A = this chain, B = another copy of it.
Amino acid sequence: MNQSKRYLDIVKEIRDMIRQEKIKPGDRIPSERELAEKLQVGRSTLREALRSLELLGLIETRRGEGTFLSDHRNHQLVEVLSTFILQDNKSREDVWETRLMHEISAIQSICENKALADLRIWDSFKVKLQDESFQRDDFVREMMVLSGNRLSLKIWFLLHQYSGSSYSEEVAEDEKDLVYPVLDALENQQEEKAVQAFKAWSEWIEKRRMQNGDNS
């Protein structure tokens, strides 16, 4: 039994090992030679498992130092999946649409939670909007975090990385008129209004992006 796919077993064993010994992100895991010895497998087989986990962005290896649990930052996954799975232009639209979907859902989630509205965090963004230090990505990220759905946040972050941060420039002057309504609506927990205002803003951005040109 257990025919073939030893390296998959290793992936699982490593996962369990990590759980049992309670290794946290950033911590170092045993060296390849140690692990191979402990798990009774050849080093090259063990490496197949480690490289796989690395490509997934779950671990991070530094030559001469060791292997570490990833901080969930580097996602090679994005680079790979993006070129394998997403190839044509239709896909670019899909990414933008899907990203928007998550952002809007976050807005709805926030508006439904009274405790969040009381935070009065939106004021600080209004200030930033005035002194030109406002950046859309910062704002949206804040929303994604506040929404409390970590999975959605993760997916959003992936999409954000993939589509590039081409919207991280500072806001244009005529863009401000589109942003204020969003902040106002959020402050007052007006879900419908917030969503509509956010959509209007997003469409404006999309239009501008079309004019500027595409990055491959």
Q: Give residues in A with beta carbon < 8 Å to B.
A: 4, 7-8, 11, 15, 44, 47-49, 51-56, 58, 63, 72, 76-77, 80-81, 83-86, 90-91, 94-95, 97-98, 101-102, 105, 149-152, 154-155
Bound form: Cα–Cα A150–B151 in Å: 19
Q: Closest chain B residue to A97 by CB distance?
A: B149
**Chain B residues, CB < 8 A from A151:** 86, 91, 94-95, 97-98
Known: A58-B84, A84-B15, A155-B98. A91 touches B150 (CB 8 A): yes
Q: Is the CB of B55 within 8 A of A55?
A: yes
**Chain B residues, CB < 8 A from A95:** 151
Q: Closest chain B residue to A51 by CB distance?
A: B48
The majority secondary structure among interface residues of chain A is helix
**Chain B residues, CB < 8 A from A77:** 56
> Could you list 14 A-B pairs, sorted by A, with CB under 8 Å?
A4-B63, A48-B51, A52-B55, A52-B56, A56-B81, A56-B84, A85-B154, A90-B150, A94-B151, A95-B151, A97-B151, A98-B151, A98-B155, A101-B101
Partner of A152, one of B44, B56, B101: B101
**Chain B residues, CB < 8 A from A7:** 51
Partner of A11, one of B49, B80, B150: B80
Q: Is the CB of A83 within 8 A of B15?
A: yes
Known pairs A15-B84, A72-B85 / 15 extra A-B pairs, C-beta < 8 Å: A11-B55, A15-B80, A15-B83, A44-B47, A51-B51, A52-B52, A53-B55, A53-B80, A56-B80, A56-B81, A86-B151, A94-B152, A98-B102, A98-B151, A101-B105
How far in angstroms is the closest Cβ of chain B from A196? 13
Partner of A52, one of B44, B51, B85, B154: B51
How far in angstroms is the closest Cβ of chain B from A147? 9
How far in angstroms is the closest Cβ of chain B from A181? 21
